[in-house]
Amino acid sequence: MTLADVPEAERISDEGFFELDSRTRRLDGPEPQRRSDPHREVWMRRTRHFVETDPGGCWVAEDETGLVGMATSYRRETLWCLATYAVLPGRQGQGIGKPLMAAAMSHGRGCTRAMLSASSDTRAVRVYHQAGFQLHPQMYLTGTLDRSAIPTVDKVREGTASDFELMDSLDRAARGAGHGPDHELMLSTWRLLVSDTSTGSGYAYLNERGSLALLAASNRRTATRLLWAALADGPDEATISHVTGANQWVLDVGFAARLALHQEGYLALRGMKPPSPYVHNGALL
Ligand SMILES: CC(C)(COP(=O)(O)OP(=O)(O)OC[C@H]1O[C@@H](n2cnc3c(N)ncnc32)[C@H](O)[C@@H]1OP(=O)(O)O)[C@@H](O)C(=O)NCCC(=O)NCCS
């Protein structure tokens, strides 16, 4: 993939995920939606970042009609992550996706750990299992936030780039590798909250919709404090995404806030256990 391919790759991923959402929609779930213009911008910015930091990890498949598939992946220290992976609807199940995944994975040779957030797509999970990934179900908490349940939150402040060293240390403890250059991208797009006390430290990013995008902490107490702070400042219609079974503390908070629980997709891991206390991001893991 080159920088010039990014807008076309965005279209493929939008079509791929819209079709997937329409095909796998829960009866009580929200109506599937195309990516909004602001979200499209965030997606393209992030993908350009991966092409720049990891040109060898980003691939497209093309034929005479143009691009038909894409995969973006990156290495951070000894960890390889798959950010996005999609084949155009109508062209899926024809052997395009597997070689794309193989090309992206060749970029991760020499990494001892690997991580990706998988959809529930039957082909995707088959490919990941065959590639040696263990699949850990992901939970989601959604609903109207009960603001009367929010406790008084202190010892949380706005974060800055001077916190990156601490944050990379927390990342290393949780997932074996710092986010490195991804912190610059996230801080330029999202809001950063930090808690750093004598008993524990942690951080949380809130995405462009005000929802939790990523959280890491040295203990559950600090993680819980950050999650409440994120919910307090977030929208009334709250979403906490990508919760693994190793992070039951998130359910304590989510149920106290009267959110509803459901399940979607998997955290796929190789060479590591589900990070905790940690809430991963879908693409920046
Ligand atoms: C996941 C995806 C990228 C795979 O690409 P693809 O071109 O469809 O995959 P391939 O044709 O290479 O097939 C992959 C495997 O799935 C199998 N497969 C094909 N159709 C299938 C079906 N309907 N059900 C189950 N398995 C199927 C293939 O046989 C192959 O396995 P095998 O090599 O053991 O035979 C693509 O299906 C997609 O874009 N899905 C929607 C978006 C998505 O979920 N992306 C992943 C996000 S984490």
More confident residue, 27 or 43: 43
Please state the domain extents for the chain.
3-111, 142-263
Contact 203, 170 (CB under 8 A): yes
- State which of 123, 135, 267 you would mutate to test the pocket of ligand 1, scoring each by most atoms of that ligand within 8 A of its C-beta: 123
- DSSP letter for each residue of 108-171: TTT-SEEEEEE-S-HHHHHHHHHTT-EEEEEEEEEEE--GGGPPP--S-EE--GGGHHHHHHHH
Which of the 8 DSSP states describes residue 34?
P
Beta strand 66-76 with 212-217 is unpaired
Q: Write the CB contacts of 91 (distance below 8 Å, at least 6 apart in sequence).
A: 68, 69
Question: Are 3-111 and 142-263 in the same CATH fold?
Answer: yes
Q: How much distance in Å is there from the Cα of 125 to the middle of ligand 1?
A: 8
Judging by beta carbons within 10 Å of its beta carbon (0-12, 13-18, 19+), is residue 27 exposed, middle or buried? exposed
**Looking at the domain 3-111, which fold is it?**
Aminopeptidase (3.40.630)
CATH class of 142-263: alpha beta
ω into 7 cis (within 30 of 0): no
Give the number of other Cβ atoms within 10 Å of residue 53's Cβ. Answer: 16
The binding-site residues of ligand 1, defined as CB within 6 angstroms of any ligand atom, are 16-17, 20, 85-87, 92-98, 118-119, 121-124, 126-127
* Segment 47-80, tens digit of pLDDT: 999 999 999 999 999 999 999 999 999 999 999 9
Confidence (pLDDT) at 28: 85
Q: Where are the alpha helices (DSSP H) in 157-265?
A: 164-175, 181-189, 220-233, 248-256
pTM (2 d.p.): 0.97
Q: What is the C-alpha to C-alpha distance for residues 233 and 130, in angstroms, rounded to an integer?
A: 41
Q: What is the average pLDDT value for the chain, to the nearest integer?
A: 97
Measured by CA distance, the residue closest to atom 43 of ligand 1 is: 86
* Segment 202-249, tens digit of pLDDT: 999 999 999 999 999 999 999 999 999 999 999 999 999 999 999 999
What percentage of the chain reaches a pLDDT higher than 90? 98
Q: How much distance in Å is there from the Cα of 282 to the middle of ligand 1?
A: 19
